[in-house]
Amino acid sequence: MSIHAFKMQLKPGVLDEYRKRHDEIWPELSALLTESGIHDYSIFLDEQTLSLFAVLRVRADSNRDALPDHPVMKRWWDYMAPLMEVEPDNRPKEWALPLIFHHA
């Protein structure tokens, strides 16, 4: 199992809608994440900068790399694109965060 952390960027004025959409996450997306080997996935907010910090655990046998090609993932990215900084394919822009310290 491994831990992945990354940063994303929320647009101004959309925090409530971003939170609402995640509170109502689609069951098929939740299932896809689990089936892909992702669990214990959290997103934190820096309220001053609107930076989002995501941390997730991935099983060793994960197929996380296949997610960008899955129709449910693409549909979610299209749905979320108006709220975040995104790549041309509507994938959220991500900045990897290297692990500096971990206490188990």
Measured between alpha carbons, how far apart are the two ends of the chain, in Å?
13
The reply to whether 39 belongs to the active site is no
Q: Residue range 77-97: average pLDDT?
A: 98
Q: Residue range 21-46: average pLDDT?
A: 97
Which pLDDT score, from 0 to 100, does residue 23 have?
Answer: 98
Q: Assess whether pLDDT exceeds 90 at residue 1.
A: no
Active-site option among 4, 22, 39, 70: 22
Which pLDDT score, from 0 to 100, does residue 26 have?
Answer: 98
| pTM attached to this predicted model | 0.91
C-alpha distances in angstroms, 80 versus 50, 63, 74, 85? 15, 22, 10, 10
Indicate the Cα dihedral angle 5, 83, 86, 43, nearest 10°: 10
